[in-house]
Amino acid sequence: MAGNRTFTMIKPDAVGAGNTGAIIKMIEEAGFKIVAMKKTYMSKERAGQFYAVHKERPFYQDLTNYMSSGPIVPMILEKDNAVEDFRKLIGATNPQDAAEGTIRKLFAKSIEANAIHGSDSDENAEIEGRFFFADVEKF
Ligand code: UDP
Ligand code: MG
Best residue for ligand 1 mutational test, from 59, 67, 93, 127 (most atoms within 8 Å of Cβ): 93
Q: Distance between CA 91 and CA 45 in Å, rounded?
A: 27
User: Does any domain span residue 139?
Assistant: no
* Domains contained in the chain, number: 1
Choose the catalytic residue: 6, 117, 129, 133. Answer: 117
pLDDT in the model for residue 135:
84
CA of 13 to the centre of ligand 2 (A): 17
User: What are the Cα distances from residue 135, in Å, to 35, 62, 66, 105, 131?
Assistant: 12, 31, 27, 33, 10
Q: How confident is the model at residue 1 (pLDDT cuts 50, 70, 90)?
A: low
User: Does any domain span residue 42?
Assistant: yes
User: Does any domain span residue 137?
Assistant: no
Q: Report the chain's mean pLDDT, rounded to a whole number.
A: 96
CATH number of the domain to which 107 belongs: 3.30.70.141
pLDDT in the model for residue 58:
98
pTM of the model: 0.97
pLDDT digits (tens, 9 = 90+) for 80-132: 999 999 999 999 999 999 999 999 999 999 999 999 999 999 999 999 999 99
Domain that includes residue 60, residue range:
5-132
User: Does any domain span residue 108?
Assistant: yes
Q: Distance between CA 68 and CA 39 in Å, rounded?
A: 13
User: Does any domain span residue 11?
Assistant: yes
User: Does any domain span residue 49?
Assistant: yes
Is residue 54 annotated as part of the catalytic site, yes or no? no
